[in-house]
Chain A
Amino acid sequence: MQRIGVFVCHCGSNIAATVDVKKVAEWALKEPGVVHAEDYPYMCSEAGQSKIQAAIKEKNLTGVVVCSCSPRMHETTFREAAERAGINPYMVEIANIREHCSWIHKDMEEATKKAVILMRAAVAKVNLNTPLKPGESRVTKRALVIGGGIAGIQTALDIAEAGYKVDIVEKTPSIGGRMSQLDKTFPTLDCSACILTPKMVEVNKHENVNIYTYSEVEKVSGFVGDFTVDIRKKARSVDMDKCTGCGVCQEKCPSKKTPSEFNRALNTRTAIYTPFAQAIPNVPVIDREACIKFKTGKCGICEKVCQAGAIKYDQEDEIITEKYGAIVVATGFDMIKLDNYDEYAYSQSKDVITSLELERIMNAAGPTKGHLERLSDGKAPKEMVFIQCVGSRCSDDRGKSYCSKICCMYTAKHAMLIRDKYPDVNVTVFYIDVRTPGKNFDEFYRRAVEDYGVNYIKGQVGKVIPQPDGKLLVRGVDLIDNKQILKEADMVVLAAAIEPNKDVRKIATMLTASIDTNNFLTEAHAKLRPVESPTAGIFLSGVCQGPKDIPETVSQAGAAAVKAIGLLAKDKLMTNPCTAKPDELMCNGCSQCANVCPYGAISYEVKEINDHGVRETRRVASVNSALCQGCGACTVTCPSGAMDLQGFSNRQILAEVDAICR
């Protein structure tokens, strides 16, 4: 039999104004196992905690019930207090008589009745509580960052600076990500490459950082502190140690017709290539689909011209297996495909482009060497029209339901840059709302309007009609003037919605990290844990979590790094002891628990079981307590009642229900 103490908190007047706390304490003494009951104005205060500790010692208590606020608030406080007084922390239960009672009721008599019932349920549970001991697991002092854009680079740098080893896995041949494709950045208009490349160099040179480019995460197993990851290093066909990055192979390569990924397919690249001049590593890869040597066996020019002898046609994919304590996802974004937006004539006219394509056109290293020109005939445009929210804020099935967040600002940037460099070009922006919440953001947009004369029209465009003379007829509406507008434009720029990188679904599945309906990774708590995945040991950096601009991405990348460092700094992890535990005698190995487990914590083993004197070999469930998060899905799924959650066993829950219904 337990010896239980019940402690009823007034919470100032938060509880005591609605619940007769003295009465709750009196009633508590009538409950089985209760040997002590008292009330106090602030149980969570130092003095309140001392009262609990004193009672534990004087009355030899084995269990404690605190009738107070939500366990989310102070369960840890009271459990730690009890532990210091010598009893197992899991012998402490909270009856929530504040959020669940005093705050939501007005009638004192009714509220007191309910508080008594809640107290009873907690006492009934403590009567069946058993001491639980958290397990320990080790922490591998190495982090993995998936994605080598600005988010991944910043996270890796911050973790490396704290003294921990970091590996970056980047799918493309170079780190740099989307930011490397941008020409200028808002709201300061500094050149993107000028601020990004020093970071790329820094992360590449850092002794604690190891970068795998042209590589992908293939398999993830393990759990927080102890992940094992297989990384596929795709065959580059170039020896990274021997290559000097002279670039002769790229000059001589006769296969020149592959659309350049980096320039958004606005021009072409060779089969052996580095995506851009400042690529890191500055070692080309051979695109085997485009390479004549790989397609026909004849060519081999790059091998002949390579002074360093770095070309390796026979190089094969390599699988690297490494252990990590923490994993940061920084997989970034892409623009949505515009196939479903025929009305904007994107696929009909070369002069209808996306904003990211304009970014490449404006860039000195881009397909037009930075000259603003129509891609159809190379002529300089005189009239430019920007269309906002293409595929953003849509509730139809063509677009995305969310606001892509960055488009208002980059469009103001584009408009301003064009008006600055080409004052004779008229720029019109059709917008629904201009959203500029950010430091110096609205001022930036106002400059576009007031100082640069950009014509902002409140209204959408219904159709872009390519004309026989090559012009684009834009039919839009001005909702302020209540007029339909017909405008001849030379170029139309679409602010296409952004979406998470296509591969994120695959990666989230490997990590058992949850994603939302838009394929953005879900946070553990939208406000209070925004850079952590609900899956322990997985952290989120950059746009993979939701649309954001560069300053926000960099802040979040730092925050994700701090969370990862906090984990890596620990030698051992205490695991939550409230995990599922199968009764092997009752388990029939049906696999239903493993199917519902969101954390991959349940596996099966074939074991010899002594079933009441009969020795049998059976397939039974086994729970990895380091992976189990104690959600309880398996316990309610198990058809034979073999699975139970420690600390929340079926018996305990039913005892609580019985106490409430008594």
Chain B
Amino acid sequence: MSIVNSQADKIKEISGSNPLKCMKCGKCSASCPSFNEMDIKPHQFVSYVQNEDIQSLVESKSLWKCLSCFACIERCPRNVQPGKLIDAARQIVVRQKGQDYLKADEIPELIDPETPQQLLVSAFRRYRR
């Protein structure tokens, strides 16, 4: 899996967030409930995108430790909203062509009578390209 630098632009595009607006106050990291679980901290996400080091981001534990609780998005005083950057980095990973995260024949096993049909359809759309 190789990620090129132009992915930084992709992340900015998907997230709609501009890392240049960051004033490095750290309120995102101060708000993050998963802070201790993360190898790259929320405030560092901003500088990783700014420095176009996307490879490290997508390989980080943090990507999957983020709870999407939106505390950093809610409280960011500069509208940089690192949570959106993290989410965009996740998108980059799941949008990799040829990477099947969900195969059609796996679905019957996963089906739970409680699971809404809608969820399966959207999951399939999202993870099977």
Show the binding face of A for B, using Cβ within 8 Å: 343, 389, 393-396, 398-399, 432, 458-463, 475-477, 479, 482, 484-485
Contacts and interface: CB of A to CB of B under 8 A. Distances in A.
A493 to B, nearest CB: 17
Nearest to A479: B26
A487 to B, nearest CB: 11
B80 to A, nearest CB: 9
Given A432-B24, A482-B41, A484-B36, A477 B78 contact: no
Contacts of A343: 31, 75
B8 interface: no
A458 B30 CA distance: 11
B102 interface: no
Given A462-B71, A484-B36, A479 B79 contact: no
Given A394-B78, A396-B78, A475-B31, A459 B71 contact: no
Contacts of A476: 30
30 contacts: A389-B25, A393-B23, A394-B77, A394-B78, A395-B77, A395-B78, A396-B76, A396-B78, A399-B77, A432-B25, A432-B26, A460-B26, A460-B30, A461-B27, A461-B30, A462-B27, A462-B29, A462-B30, A462-B31, A462-B32, A463-B30, A463-B31, A475-B31, A477-B26, A477-B27, A477-B29, A477-B30, A479-B26, A484-B30, A484-B32
Instruction: Return the 3 tightest CB-CB contacts between A and B, nearest first.
Output: A462-B31, A462-B30, A460-B27
Interface string B26-67: 111111100110000101100000000000000000000000
Given A396-B79, A482-B41, A459 B26 contact: yes
A398 B76 CA distance: 10
Nearest to B30: A462
B117 to A, nearest CB: 38
Interface residues of B, number: 22
A529 to B, nearest CB: 31
Nearest to B27: A460
A390 B55 CA distance: 35
Nearest to A482: B41
Given A343-B75, A393-B77, A477-B43, A459 B25 contact: yes
Given A389-B25, A477-B29, 11 more contacts: A395-B78, A396-B77, A398-B77, A432-B23, A432-B26, A459-B25, A459-B29, A459-B30, A475-B31, A479-B26, A484-B36
Contacts of B75: 343, 462
Q: Is the interface of B mostly helix, strand, loop or mixed?
A: helix
A343 B44 CA distance: 22
B78 A479 contact: no
Candidate in B21, B29, B35, B71 with the most chain A CB atoms within 10 angstroms: B29
Contacts of B76: 396
Nearest to A485: B30
Nearest to B28: A462
A482 B45 CA distance: 13
A458 to B, nearest CB: 8
A343 B29 CA distance: 14
Contacts of B32: 462, 484
A477 B44 CA distance: 12
A650 B129 CA distance: 66
A484 B29 CA distance: 7
A484 B37 CA distance: 11
Candidate in B23, B41, B77 with the most chain A CB atoms within 10 angstroms: B77
A489 B27 CA distance: 18
Given A396-B77, A396-B78, A461-B27, A484 B35 contact: yes
A175 B29 CA distance: 45
A461 B30 CA distance: 6
Nearest to B29: A477
